[in-house]
Amino acid sequence: MAIVKEERIGDCRLILGDCLEVMPLIGKVDAVVTDPPYSSGGFQESGKSAGSIGTRSSEIIEMDDLSTRGYIGLIRRVCKFADAAEFYIFTDWKMWGWTLEAAELGGVATRNMIVWDKGNPGMGAPWRNAHELIYYGKRRHRPARPGRSGNVIHEPRSGNANHPTEKSFGVMAGILRNAIDGVILDPFMGSGTTLVACAKLGRKGIGIELDPDHFEIACKRVEDAYRQPDLFVAPPEKPQQEALPLLSAAE
């Protein structure tokens, strides 16, 4: 069964299951915004078996130990199966070229590289990474639209409290503010930051996650996002009823 479990919270639909099995069932969406397991462990092919996070965490990210060939196949199928106009796919400098190739093989035309400037550098030497890359492409033969933002997003890291590679709310909100209007799909939902941003910004979202624990975390975070006062979207103004002037007897 493709859909193991499903929760509908506000305008968000959260699905537990394999995205490659679920995506053909959900129909048309408008944009894919996702941070897939991009198999960036090690500098040689053999190092990918340890995953991107290596021994830094006891958690396991599903499909993060794929070979480069396996990763290309995964992203190609995601781009092929998702009936969307726009695609935003997180990756890093090691996997950028493979991400571009996989997306184009899946029928998506590359349009830009977005840089997430995290401010403070991470671990490593001698040059410590302080940014992450986001692939931007559009479905071929879909009309282009004018852009509203520059291609560098300055937002701090999340702290990874809910997921070992958790994206910050700020970077996801920055993408959604410039993305095409309509339904957002995140086929690798993780702890649900994309859908939290959808909830806060008044967007409709669909998230798919393979890991049951991260799925439950995502559900709770989206519920909390709807419960809390929205600090990011101004509520619609209430119509003011003006008093009518009093008419005198002569009038």
pLDDT in tens, 55-66: 455 565 565 667
Q: Label residue 116 left, alpha or beta by phi (over 0 means left) and psi (-120 to 50 means alpha).
A: beta
What is the per-residue pLDDT for 128? 84
What is the per-residue pLDDT for 173? 94
Residue 99 near residue 135 (C-beta atoms within 8 A): yes
| Residue 188: CB atoms within 10 Å | 25
Query: pLDDT tens, 235-251?
Result: 434 434 444 444 444 44
The reply to whether the predicted model has a pTM over 0.75 is yes
Residue 64 near residue 53 (C-beta atoms within 8 A): yes
Residue 86 near residue 136 (C-beta atoms within 8 A): yes
Residue 42 near residue 50 (C-beta atoms within 8 A): yes
User: Which residues 6+ apart lie within 8 Å of 11 measured at CB?
Assistant: 198, 199, 202, 203, 204, 205
What is the per-residue pLDDT for 233? 55
Residue 187 near residue 23 (C-beta atoms within 8 A): yes
What is the per-residue pLDDT for 140? 73
What is the per-residue pLDDT for 235? 44
- All residue ranges of the chain with pLDDT < 70 are 1, 39-65, 143-144, 158-165, 229-251
Domains, in order of start, for the chain: 7-52+60-227 (3.40.50.150)
